[in-house]
Amino acid sequence: MKKIYFGPKGTVKWHEPFWKPWGCLGCLGRLLLYLVLLFTLMFLLNMFKMCTCSSGALQLPDDILNPTGENPLPHVPVDTTLQFPNNIQNPGNNLPSPGDNFIPPYDDDDVITDDDTHQQIVGNKLNVILDSRADDSTFRQWADEFKRLYPGEQYSIVFYDPLTKLLQIQIPEQEREAIMQNLPNQITDISFKVFPEGLMGEAAQPNDPIFQHQEIAWYFNPIQAYEAWQITKGSPDIVVAIVDSYFDLNHDDLNSDRIVHPFSVPRHTGNVAPAQGADEVAFMHGSMVASQALGNMDNNRGTAGIAPGCKFMPVSLGHRFTMMTILEGLLYAIYQGADVINISAGCSFDPSINSMSTEQQIAFSQQECLIEADVWNYVANLANERNVTIVWAAGNDNVFAAMDPSKRGDATIKVSAVDKNLRKADFSNYGNFPDRNIEESTISAPGVDIMGAMPYNTYNIGPGTSFAAPIVTGAVALMKSLDPTLTTTEIASILQETGKPIQGDNSIGKLIQIKDALLKVQSSFANMNDIMNNHQQFLGLWQSTRLLKKYTNGQETGDHIRIFFNITAENQGQIIYYEESSTKKDYVAPLRLLWQQNKITMKQEQNAVNETATDTYVPCTYVCTPGNQQRLQCTYTTENSGSTEPFFLRRAERRNNE
């Protein structure tokens, strides 16, 4: 049957092939027109190939798209036989002997953070630089005077160099400040300066190719990623779930032994890859998001995630999401032990929302979708009871974020996007109206030209709050790597307190500053020096950075238990085990404190009980000693168990149930 197509002026024979007669030109005219169009198309394509990103879109260089893993630099032989003497004749008894005169490596446990400068320094070392005219006798004289002032074995000169006029001394850490201030007034007949041994060096610079192209790696600098990686790259004890479309777990930037509990919502299996022929965009999205949050680092491939040391739980939703699909994936991640969950998805709205005024959008969020909002709020509270932090992408419709009922309230972290100028991205949803006490955008992160893993070992760059959210997810994972007990409320507060205001726009959250957030986490940890010098500083409420899991008859109940130490006097206090999930009960027992040199022992000598419960918490002994940077590091033992992994104590303003 012949098909007839209708236009505004009757039947139109657009279906007929071009060689059929067409007016007076007939076949020849059609052929000439076809050749002209073909030539024009080929010319334009050639011009497009020669175009160097005139549209502003970034192009990925060959070393990212086609990595070889080889070093292109030629080998240059270097003479390593040269020696530079750093000894003097007759060094005497107070300078190191020639065989021992080398700069000693520092111990990580001796690294502390200076309270005034926030610089990392070696706490038990000080450096001295003598005047440029100093000779051998000056070194001997300085050494003799130093040992006359500080004769004990704990004071010593561990290195000197007459060529550079430098010395290094080792002293007790608690005397560092006093000695640094007093020495210039104690040795007055020699010109010198004394200064701390600060840690130096480049910020962590992985070998992944992206970091050789700052126009592509632009977003790592403004969020302090390099500095943050000097503090931590993530703990394998922290599990990050990416709830998204599909994942290519064979990709070089995703494949590792860090993958745990993969799950496909549509299949209910561990196969999180798409079926053959599936929409590549859906395949791409999950892989990109995952690589941005916690992709492999230092593998000489592609890019790196913000938290490359954490575990990765891939949860596939398939290529079409519904509320049920997302809830299924979200609850799976919660119940399977995720610590942080990223969801770069949200409600799908009709385009008509863009015609709504801001007032109408706010009113909509307060009056509509209340049932859905109640469900999302229930799940968020369920997550928080299990100390799971949910991070949402705010959305890309340039509307009030809380139009989406999954992004209302303060029980989750909601992420807006900034562009390369660190201003609100034109597509990003917003949510903050300070004058009306409305805050629905928790924090912001770069969301334009963000690089991530694509299927089949390829890479791409893209815009969207989808790619801002995993940056924040990675940062939250780093924070929890330092303190797994941090609640979502505490995390949001730290991110907002340390974030950088968006210039000229307070409708979205501040720009995340990861290093500052990590330092803020560490600032609440107990300091051994401070406490040993003044026992009164140990009074008050402290919380362990270790969460316990509750077991009944050998089965895990899902309850998380927080441990609090309420120190009421120098030698006594209480221990409180708080079940924050289902029972919300306190189990309390008295504590007895024993003080020794560089050690505090806290003994729980009877069961911790709750007057309405039959179960109890058995006696434990907690031993606290100096840890990294002199933080109070504790372990505990019971009658039936050995010593645990160490944890820290942090100051607590109040308990969660108060």
* 437 or 75, which is more confident: 437
Sorting pLDDT into bands at 50, 70 and 90, what band is 468? very high
pLDDT at residue 28 tops 60: no
pLDDT tier, 564 (very low <50, low <70, confident <90, very high otherwise): very high
Q: Residue 50 — pLDDT band, cuts 50, 70, 90?
A: very low
Predicted confidence at residue 108, as pLDDT, reads 76
The pLDDT value recorded for residue 56 is: 38
Question: Average of pLDDT values for 242-248?
Answer: 92
The rounded percent of the chain whose pLDDT value lies above 90 is 50
Q: How many residues does the chain have?
A: 658
For residue 412, give both structure tokens.
């989750």
Task: Give me the mean pLDDT over the 133-154 stretch.
Answer: 93
pLDDT computed for residue 48 by the predictor: 30
Lowest mean pLDDT among 22-36, 300-314, 591-605: 22-36
Question: Which of these ranges, 47-51, 63-67, 441-445, 587-591, has the smallest mean pLDDT?
Answer: 47-51
Tokens of 386: 């299990």
**CA gap 246, 275 in Å, rounded:** 10
Mean pLDDT (whole number) for 37-56: 37
The SS3 of residue 108 is helix
Q: Which amino acid is at 211?
A: F
Q: What pLDDT does residue 103 have?
A: 77
Q: Is the pLDDT of residue 1 over 60?
A: no
Average pLDDT rounded to a whole number, residues 14-33: 39
- Give Cβ neighbours of residue 29 (< 8 Å, ≥ 6 apart): 22, 23
Residue 378 predicted with pLDDT over 70: yes
pTM above 0.85, yes or no: no
- pLDDT of amino acid 23: 39
Q: How many Å apart are CA 34 and CA 16, to the nearest integer?
A: 15
Mean local confidence (pLDDT), 477-492: 96
pLDDT band at 2 (very low <50, low <70, confident <90, very high): very low
Percent of the chain having pLDDT more than 70? Answer: 83
| pLDDT for residue 7 is more than 60 | no
Q: Which two tokens stand for residue 224?
A: 């302090």
Query: 3-state SS of 591-658?
Result: EEEEEECCEEEEEECCCEECCCCCCCECCCEEEEEECHHHEEEEEEEECCECCCCCEEEEECCCCCCC
pLDDT at 94: 92
Q: What is the pLDDT of residues 568-584, one digit of tens each?
A: 999 999 999 998 877 78
Is residue 341 over pLDDT 90?
Answer: yes
What pLDDT is stored for residue 656 in this prediction?
Answer: 56
SS (H, E, C) 502-522: CCCCCCCCCECCHHHHHHHHH
Encoding tokens for residue 606? Answer: 């009877």
**Please, are residues 649 and 544 in contact by the beta-carbon 8 Å criterion?**
yes
Say whether 40 sits in a helix, a strand or coil. helix
CA 36 to centroid of chain Cα atoms = 57
Residue range 29-36: mean pLDDT, rounded? 52
Residue with tokens 């840690």: 199
Higher pLDDT, 79 or 380: 380
3-state SS class at 642: coil
Q: Which of 63-67, 249-253, 461-465, 533-537 has the lowest mean pLDDT?
A: 63-67
For residues 282-291, one letter each, b for 16 or more C-beta atoms within 10 angstroms of the residue's C-beta and e for the rest, the string is bbbbbbbbbb
Supply the mean pLDDT for the chain.
Answer: 83
**Residue 116's pLDDT is what?**
57
**Highest-pLDDT range among 373-377, 522-526, 547-551:** 522-526
Report the range of poorest mean pLDDT among 194-203, 214-223, 438-447, 449-458.
194-203
Q: Which residue has the higher pLDDT, 449 or 199?
A: 449
Both tokens of 51, joined, read 């175009």
Q: What mean pLDDT is predicted for residues 475-488? A: 96
SS3 assignment, position 190: coil
Could you report the per-residue pLDDT of 203-234, keeping only the tens digit for each? 445 777 888 888 889 999 999 999 999 999 99
Least confident of 205-209, 364-368, 518-522, 588-592: 205-209
